[in-house]
Structure 1
């Protein structure tokens, strides 16, 4: 059994890797967990079972997201992949335990509930890492998942789990009853075929409503290609970088341009006080440029700092100056026009260990331990700024997701519900180099477009910059690690999808059932009549 367990563990990890964007073998995700289902039945020793499950999930994590260690501290990637594999093991351990107390069918239901609950928690706590949400596996196949406008990516997670369970059950029955190929095709194959094909057929008939051509607006997207390690956060080159942004913007802007979009941390890499933004030479230079394009606004990333004057405003994570003044730095999006009104949005979903030390309010001595990725060290604040960037003159509201935020389905949907007509992603994916990291990040934006049925405008410092339509199709993708600028027409869209209006109902329902299952497991320890006879270990 040891050798077969070893092979099952490796096989599952490799199948999930080969199915993940941007690998082309997406259908393998429908069988990626079947070896783990087999291990659950055949490995009785809990310690050994945990070891094989963890090993398999570690292979998947390392093969898919090894690039998270491409930092100034490579050991951070080892920890991130190992810790995430450990967390992913928890639903499987709970499923193993459920098989001892529940009938087989109910134990499969428990696995689905535990996994969906895990994914929801992993998007809401301060150690969040939703990169490997199972529903993200279909990012390369937008034509398969048009129904995400109803379920979000959690619907894809449910699809993957149901397909794996059903395929495993068919294989198991074929072995138990020694079914011939003819019997298998007549009696069993229709079950996984229906589960896989029905969502595909639904996507054929589900389409976003057509754009109104009269509402199209022009945008200019800038990809400056500034090396984040050697150039981006060098104080001596700040004005040269600004000159590049302005030069590239003016090469494509015209009298009909509504938005000029720059990437994450394009301005003030060393930080600028928010109450002094109007006096910054960079802002004044941008306004001089905008005087030539009176309809346009610049949306750009920046590093800003905020002082807190009132004691009740001071968050637990605030820092202190020598005079006692409380302050915080932020990864920010700014909307700049020729008026004195600068709209400020603060990134909320921060990268653990890089921009955020999880639960630092309880461990304040760890404030300075965030990895140094240039600019402000010690992590960013999470005090909200504006919810949306508004443009009353054109009746347009924009949600400017900053980098990592674009991976969070529910977070993006919630802000879209606040009235966003257009999504923008401003990011700096140059940290990860020529790895799958920046490619996967682009693909995930396609899912956000489908879930919300909004156009997505993506400006990435080193690429890949592009625009994405509400059906998830990518237009004008720019080459990675090359300077680029392009203009495109996009349409602000006011209608809201079922998913945007109602949120992630699947995951919320899973949490309720998870609580009920845990209560049942607790009570069954004391009431033998509730305990199902141990089944297959």
Structure 2
């Protein structure tokens, strides 16, 4: 009786185990190596459970546990329902590759279905990076962010290489265990000696390759003229930031902190996301803003310096025909867009304007609202402008002609998009800035995970990163992914260091995410082949179990 009860509960136990293992391995946990066995329970579940609805329910349970345990902090806002929706919907989407894997077992056999799982999962992650419901926080390759010395080869593959490594390692270890069950007569030692080389190699070889790549790249990234950069962490409560009358006091705080470290050699001063104009300022009137005039007064004492800062800006359109779908009406037939913006301000009258384009679903962007306009009212109010931000592009990079530098001011959520950042490095960005406001979710894993992900972007592009976070953690990240001068969370801070602009392109910067793009093509071919099999009633060759 007890054995029957355990057998009945086994699918649920396997699902729970997989979800908990994925959570336990995720940054900032030190148990990263658990990810190499985290999917084994689901692989076993696929062999064990025949009923598709039971299988779907178990996979969904695993994905929900992983999502909720890892990103529960998304709901740590005045509207907790947003976190519930994000975690449950994302878990549902994550089930799709596993359902495809289950379906492919009968069509492609055991080995073929494992290939299909890898292809389906990589395709899912690529789509999840590029559609308007994008939430790539749990991209599998992000899991190695705390161990940059393990994945120096991300300069070739990006984070999708880490995803591939995890999936292949889990499949290799599960196949090793599965085959052992059929060869009980063979002594365990002999079996490990004969068959254990493959899973061991799958796990160990990427470590060794990382050491080789890291040794070579550390020499290549040390060249160039160093620049002095000052980063300000003002520690302003994001829920107070947008209060009436607070703007001038906050500006004085920024200026006062900046004066503590700026000097005649400073090339850049970096302030965080939405540091200026929390209620918006017209882009055609920026030079008339008192805040800009006060900044220029400071910069005249340090004419080499340029200020990179976040801001909320507004752009006016004089007719409906000129306005994009995201624009909102004003009186007299005029429309306007609101932008989450990065500005470069110096002593000249020319202000360079970058518009954030990777927007947070539900907060900065209501997905596909251009087709369902009534959904704009569903945008969460996190202070400042509500409704979808505009997506009309500004400049692609911020240019500093005196120093022959082009900088890319990644704004908050954009820093988890590896290929997006690589595209801007390909456009000439020598330096990367991350300006962010991670205080919305409090002192949770959210801001710590976000910090760690920056290390992967540095490796992929071999660029220095200067990170200014409103409430922390502000720091520098070198091209090898090492964090420098990290400041405590929820404390005022101002730091200064020198960085070396990068001038070479990594393979990943040159060619982008070839792994994921190849997986998408292969996925389409698999789907077409499946349809042909279905309509021709042909049975593919299925290897023995």
| TM-score bracket relative to the smaller structure | over 0.9
Distance 1:81 1:481 in 2: 26
Q: Does the aligned pair in 2 maintain the 1:99–1:534 contact within 8 Å?
A: no
Deviation at 1:332, TM superposition (A): 0.3
Residues 113-512 of structure 1 mapped to structure 2, 5 A cutoff: 113-178=119-184, 179-207=186-214, 208=217, 209-212=219-222, 215-229=225-239, 231-309=240-318, 313-512=322-521
Q: For the structure 1 residues 94 and 228, does the alpha-carbon distance in structure 2 shift closer, same or farther, using more than 3 Å as the test? A: same
Q: Does the aligned pair in 2 maintain the 1:235–1:270 contact within 8 Å?
A: no
Distance 1:458 1:20 in 2: 22
Distance 2:492 2:515 in 1: 42
Deviation at 1:221, TM superposition (A): 0.2
Q: For the structure 1 residues 203 and 58, does the alpha-carbon distance in structure 2 shift closer, same or farther, using more than 3 Å as the test? A: same
Q: Which whole-Å deviations, capped at 9, do the CAs of 1:394-448 have from their partners, x for residues lacking one?
A: 1000011000000011111111111100000000000011100000000000000
How many residues were matched structurally? 535
Distance 2:424 2:189 in 1: 52
Q: Does the aligned pair in 2 maintain the 1:268–1:302 contact within 8 Å?
A: yes
Deviation at 1:149, TM superposition (A): 0.2
Q: Which whole-Å deviations, capped at 9, do the CAs of 1:139-183 have from their partners, x for residues lacking one?
A: 000000000000000000000000000000001011111143212
Q: Does the aligned pair in 2 maintain the 1:21–1:137 contact within 8 Å?
A: yes
Q: Does the aligned pair in 2 maintain the 1:329–1:380 contact within 8 Å?
A: yes
Distance 1:474 1:180 in 2: 48
3-state SS in 2 of match to 1:331: strand
3-state SS in 1 of match to 2:131: coil
Unpaired runs of 5+ residues, structure 1, are none
Distance 1:85 1:535 in 2: 33
Q: Which whole-Å deviations, capped at 9, do the CAs of 1:365-420 have from their partners, x for residues lacking one?
A: 12122101111111211110000001111100001100000001111111111110
Q: Does the aligned pair in 2 maintain the 1:368–1:379 contact within 8 Å?
A: no
Q: For the structure 1 residues 211 and 517, does the alpha-carbon distance in structure 2 shift closer, same or farther, using more than 3 Å as the test? A: closer
3-state SS in 1 of match to 2:364: coil
Q: Does the aligned pair in 2 maintain the 1:101–1:534 contact within 8 Å?
A: no
Q: Does the aligned pair in 2 maintain the 1:417–1:496 contact within 8 Å?
A: yes
Among 74, 92, 104, the alignment partner of 2:80 is 74
Larger deviation: 70-79 or 465-474?
70-79
Distance 1:211 1:30 in 2: 31
Name 2:10's counterpart in structure 1.
4
Residues 100-111 of structure 1 mapped to structure 2, 5 A cutoff: 100-111=106-117
3-state SS in 1 of match to 2:241: coil
Q: Does the aligned pair in 1 maintain the 2:60–2:92 contact within 8 Å?
A: yes
Deviation at 1:213, TM superposition (A): 6.0
Distance 1:184 1:145 in 2: 30
Distance 1:201 1:211 in 2: 20
Matched, 1:86 2:92: yes
3-state SS in 1 of match to 2:535: coil
Distance 2:311 2:224 in 1: 33
Q: Does the aligned pair in 2 maintain the 1:422–1:493 contact within 8 Å?
A: yes
Distance 1:15 1:131 in 2: 17
Larger deviation: 187-196 or 523-532?
523-532
Distance 1:251 1:289 in 2: 12
Larger deviation: 98-107 or 179-188?
179-188
Q: Which whole-Å deviations, capped at 9, do the CAs of 1:14-47 have from their partners, x for residues lacking one?
A: 1101111000001110110000000111100000
C-alpha RMSD of matched pairs (Å): 1.2
Deviation at 1:138, TM superposition (A): 0.3
Q: Does the aligned pair in 1 maintain the 2:425–2:461 contact within 8 Å?
A: yes
Distance 1:196 1:484 in 2: 41
Q: For the structure 1 residues 364 and 167, does the alpha-carbon distance in structure 2 shift closer, same or farther, using more than 3 Å as the test? A: same
Q: Does the aligned pair in 2 maintain the 1:72–1:372 contact within 8 Å?
A: no
Residues 32-71 of structure 1 mapped to structure 2, 5 A cutoff: 32-71=38-77
Deviation at 1:212, TM superposition (A): 4.8
Deviation at 1:520, TM superposition (A): 1.0
Distance 1:488 1:408 in 2: 26
Deviation at 1:312, TM superposition (A): 5.2
Q: Does the aligned pair in 2 maintain the 1:222–1:262 contact within 8 Å?
A: yes
Deviation at 1:235, TM superposition (A): 2.5
Q: Does the aligned pair in 1 maintain the 2:233–2:492 contact within 8 Å?
A: yes
3-state SS in 1 of match to 2:338: strand
Distance 1:501 1:436 in 2: 33
Q: Does the aligned pair in 1 maintain the 2:224–2:501 contact within 8 Å?
A: no
Name 2:4's counterpart in structure 1.
none
TM-score (normalised: structure 1): 0.98
Q: Does the aligned pair in 2 maintain the 1:99–1:535 contact within 8 Å?
A: no
Deviation at 1:211, TM superposition (A): 4.2
TM-score (normalised: structure 2): 0.96
Deviation at 1:104, TM superposition (A): 1.1
Deviation at 1:326, TM superposition (A): 1.6
